[in-house]
Amino acid sequence: MTSEGRRAFGARVAELRRQRDLTQNELAAAIGRTASWVSQVERGIQPVNRLDVLRLLADGLGVPLYVLQPEAPEAVGPSAGAEDDTAPNDLDQARLVISGHPALDVILEPREDFRTDAVAELREEVERVWALTHGDQFADLSRTLGVLLPRLERAARTAPDAFQPEMYRLLARTYQALAAAFVRQDEADAAWLAADRAIRSAELAGDRLGVFVGVFRLIHAFVRLQRLDQAEHAAAAALNTLARHAEAESTAPEELSVVGSLHLALALVHARAGERAVAREQLDKARAVAARIGAERNDFNLEFGPTNVEVQAVATAVDLGDAGEALDIAEGLDATGLSAERQARLLMDLGRAHVQRRQFGDALEHLLRAETIAPDLVRSHIAARGAIRELMLMAGRSASPELRGLAERSDAMG
């Protein structure tokens, strides 16, 4: 199916779904898929070529197969060597991979199949995982992890003593990336599991700072689950332990990056709890740490530095309902040196700030710009969808085509 064909098919699915008055979530539940998979189909990203999946989708939409896809052949299956177009999209495949024990074959039949010549390749794959995570390229990330995670789990268990710490360190970094991606896809339960495995792997690697990075990912999973008491406990415990070691002038920048990131995480927790003074206190502590570092860094893929602190300060102000303060902080802030996800997050939060101030034209402009940079972030993030929904409710029948299109792509009114 060509890209034009996928877009046309996706538009047909979306129209048939709306005719049945179904949300993407409801259609996904009816056919045993995820809402993100349905969203990707409707946007022309996920092809659907297999007859069994076409029939499943047609049944979910309550139409004959020929209405959904007039060109569908009488019988079609995955031919030898053909790419399976029904492979789970977004993070579905990654979620399956972490369900249960990750390396049962090695546990049942211990063997020594570690290849030292594959170490460099594994390092490169883990770097690629983080590039995909920072770029919000979740479909590619899920496919990559479907192969990489089992390989790393087996490698960590079969590696000679000299290689085992690095294998566990690579495994920890991979689980950290997966936890971050699950949080952005609003799959916090899976993020919790991935973060916990990251913590354990880092400990087995002897990577002390990596353990705290895993806790940082765990905090964000707790926040998404609205378990703010657990998030605060985890953040405070990590900071109380680590901050004492970071007071010396000789503290390494990577350790400071972890400390500063934990202060930002705790600021987020207090902002979500509406605790204005404490949230700002944690932001000020993060600013002080960033000033000590004096430059933008990406230790442990945390992107900690002066700019990212201010990006978080914008988000905190919006969470606290201080839209004017958020816009003031963002004035003159240049986030182009940060990842696509961070840039899109800043634009998304500025859109939310403009919604709070009833500046609907500016709000829509920022949300559309954010969508251009990181489509899945805007279309899956609860706060973004809430802002889009509010714009639609305020605009009513006078909603512009651009706003209606954004609302449909994010299923904000579902």
pLDDT band for 207, please (50, 70, 90 cuts): very high
pLDDT band for 80, please (50, 70, 90 cuts): very low
* pLDDT average, residue stretch 369-389: 87
CA distance 193 to 94: 12
**Worst-scoring range by mean pLDDT, 48-52, 150-154, 212-216, 360-364?**
48-52
* Residue 103: C-alpha distances to residues 96, 174, 178, 191 (Å): 13, 15, 18, 19
Closest CA to 269 of 281, 257, 259, 258: 281
Q: Which 3 state secondary structure label does DSSP give 398?
A: helix
* pLDDT average, residue stretch 103-125: 84
Which carries the bigger pLDDT value, residue 282 or residue 88? 282
DSSP 8-state class, residue 324: H
Tokens at residue 152, please?
């790393």
Q: What percent of the chain has pLDDT over 70?
A: 94
pLDDT at 88: 41
pLDDT band for 192, please (50, 70, 90 cuts): very high
Is pLDDT above 70 for 86? no
Q: Where are the beta strands (DSSP E) in 108-173?
A: none
**Pair 174, 149: CB distance under 8 Å:** yes
pLDDT at 414: 56
pLDDT at 89: 42
CA distance 77 to 66: 17
Topology (CATH level 3) of domain 1-89? 434 Repressor (Amino-terminal Domain) (1.10.260)
pLDDT band for 81, please (50, 70, 90 cuts): very low
Which carries the bigger pLDDT value, residue 1 or residue 386? 386
pLDDT band for 26, please (50, 70, 90 cuts): confident
Q: DSSP secondary structure string, 193-236?
A: HHHHHHHHHHHHHT-HHHHHHHHHHHHHHHHHTT-HHHHHHHHH
pLDDT at 397: 87
pLDDT at 77: 40
Tokens at residue 275, please?
């605790």
* pLDDT average, residue stretch 7-20: 89
**Worst-scoring range by mean pLDDT, 41-50, 89-98, 240-249?**
89-98
Torsion-angle region of 411 (φ positive above 0: left; ψ -120 to 50: alpha; else: beta): left
CA angle 232-235-237, nearest 5°?
A: 100
Q: What percent of the chain has pLDDT over 90?
A: 57
